[in-house]
Structure 1
Amino acid sequence: MATTPLRVYGGVTGSDRQAGRRAVFIEAGLELLGAPEGEPNLTVRGVCRQAGLANRYFYENFRDRDELATAVYDHVVDEIATTALDAVVAVEDPELKVRTGLATIVRLIAEDPRRGRLLFSPFLAGTPLAHRRTESTRLFTQLLGTQARQVYRVQVGVRLELLSSFLVGGLAQTLTSWLDGDLQASESEVVEWCSEIFLATSGFPQ
């Protein structure tokens, strides 16, 4: 069955309009999922109201609310991972790589706490995003392990996996406490102290 092409209105193609609406829904989903109290029971009606768009536009982009939640989560993870990796690759000094990567991650979360709440909030632990969190943790662990191999020549093995998992998990818990206000530290202090821990950890020499 042939697909009817999306028409051009005002110089904007149908596919561009659809992509624009998708971006609006993702932003609306982030606003709801990343709220301070969390929104584990995200609804199509609620996100359409937040986006200011009709239901039919929701379904041209997503099958259901779970697919939207996954798209929002993946968007945030990709944004953080890509930005941090680009920043690290642009730096030559090994110690500065660590500080730059951590500073980038902390800044992204500080400038938009919704990102951190989406990644770490306990309100979303029992939702379909729980599996996504496991996958994203594995992604960041692999990225850290790759940097350790390339920059510090750390040998591949269980020790490297343990170190990477320990540091990623510890950073996640630290940022969770910081966002919740339980950790009274400035952004620069979080970056500095976490950098010291990363650099002092066996296998990541200063």
Structure 2
Amino acid sequence: MSGQTRAYGGVDGDERRARRRERLIEAGLDLLSSEQGEAALTVRSVCARSGLAARYFYESFGDRTELALAVYDHVVGEIATTTAAAVAAGPRDARARTRAGLANIVRVIVDDPRRGRLLFSTAFLSAPLARRRLESGQLFCGLLAGHTKAFFGVVGDGRLDLATQFAVGGLAQALTAWLHGHLELDPEPLVDHCTDLFVALMSQALVSREPPER
């Protein structure tokens, strides 16, 4: 049986490993989103939370930092994928599609508050996670710029780049304040107001740059 994995209960070895990895990521998300943040994440605590032996931790991850990055990537990837799908499914209307994307982001963090605490908590101070947070910000800037250029049939320039950075950074700050109780808004009004701001900002960035006639 060289090169093959044995099946138990109809589940082969690769699938069992994948399921164990999912359990470790879920346990990591629980711990990282706790009040202690990254300090709560140890191999022992993850194994206790997941109900898996340490050997299964090292089957998927080299150390706790590798797990922390995998958890972060998992959450960001889920939000990016579902948001892109929500935007694509919307009608061909700039405001409707913008609202669909923002509503999905808010829904994801409301449905599972752990995701919001992971993405917007100030407790994550390690250099690897700080770099990942910056990288994820650039990912969402790229997605916003790409959707804008494709929808309006325009090419990018400095103004659009600035607008996407401003929009994504502003949304992150607004959601951080909202999750910490500094903005007293229900989810629907929050999405509506953020949509208005996004549309106004991106519309301004798309204003013709032709010089005025003399």
How would you bin the TM-score normalised by the shorter chain? over 0.9
User: 5+ unaligned residues in a row in structure 2: which ranges?
Assistant: 208-214
Q: Which residue of 1 aligns with 2:211?
A: none
Amino acid in the other structure paired with 1:99 = R
TM-score in terms of structure 2 length: 0.90
Taking the TM superposition and a 5 Å limit, the aligned residue runs for 1:94-113 are: 94-113=94-113
Hey, what's the Cα distance between the residues in 2 that align with 1:196 and 1:26?
Answer: 36
Structure 1 residue 4: Cα displacement: 6.4
Amino acid in the other structure paired with 1:182 = H
Q: Which residue of 2 aligns with 1:115?
A: 115
Maintained 8 Å contact 1:36/1:117: no
RMSD after superposition: 1.7
Higher RCO, Cα 8 Å, sep 6+: 1
User: 5+ unaligned residues in a row in structure 1: which ranges?
Assistant: none
Taking the TM superposition and a 5 Å limit, the aligned residue runs for 1:161-180 are: 161-180=161-180
Q: Which residue of 1 aligns with 2:48?
A: 49
Hey, what's the Cα distance between the residues in 2 that align with 1:84 and 1:156?
Answer: 21
Moved more, 40-49 or 50-59: 40-49
Structure 1 residue 155: Cα displacement: 3.5
Amino acid in the other structure paired with 1:81 = A
CA distance 1:13–1:143, change in 2 (3 Å): same
Amino acid in the other structure paired with 1:46 = S
Structure 1 residue 9: Cα displacement: 0.8
Maintained 8 Å contact 1:106/1:187: yes
Q: Do residues 203 (structure 1) and 202 (structure 2) align?
A: no
Q: Which residue of 1 aligns with 2:31?
A: 32
CA deviations on 1:22-45 (whole Å, 9 max, x unpaired) are: 000000000001124423352111
Larger Rg: 2
Task: Name the SS of the counterpart of 1:124 in structure 2.
Answer: coil
Moved more, 161-170 or 3-12: 3-12
Hey, what's the Cα distance between the residues in 1 that align with 2:36 and 2:63?
Answer: 22
Structure 1 residue 120: Cα displacement: 1.5
Maintained 8 Å contact 1:154/1:160: no
How many residue pairs are counted as aligned between the two chains? 204
Q: Which residue of 2 aligns with 1:186?
A: 186
Maintained 8 Å contact 1:198/1:204: no
Maintained 8 Å contact 1:148/1:204: no
Task: Name the SS of the counterpart of 1:40 in structure 2.
Answer: helix
Structure 1 residue 126: Cα displacement: 2.9
Q: Which residue of 2 aligns with 1:136?
A: 136
Moved more, 184-193 or 92-101: 92-101
Hey, what's the Cα distance between the residues in 1 that align with 2:153 and 2:35?
Answer: 41
CA distance 1:171–1:151, change in 2 (3 Å): same
Maintained 8 Å contact 1:106/1:191: yes
Hey, what's the Cα distance between the residues in 1 that align with 2:28 and 2:160?
Answer: 36
Q: Do residues 89 (structure 1) and 88 (structure 2) align?
A: yes
Report % sequence identity. 52
TM-score in terms of structure 1 length: 0.93
CA deviations on 1:69-108 (whole Å, 9 max, x unpaired) are: 1110000000000000011011222221001000000110
Q: Do residues 19 (structure 1) and 18 (structure 2) align?
A: yes
Structure 1 residue 12: Cα displacement: 0.9
Hey, what's the Cα distance between the residues in 1 that align with 2:123 and 2:101?
Answer: 27
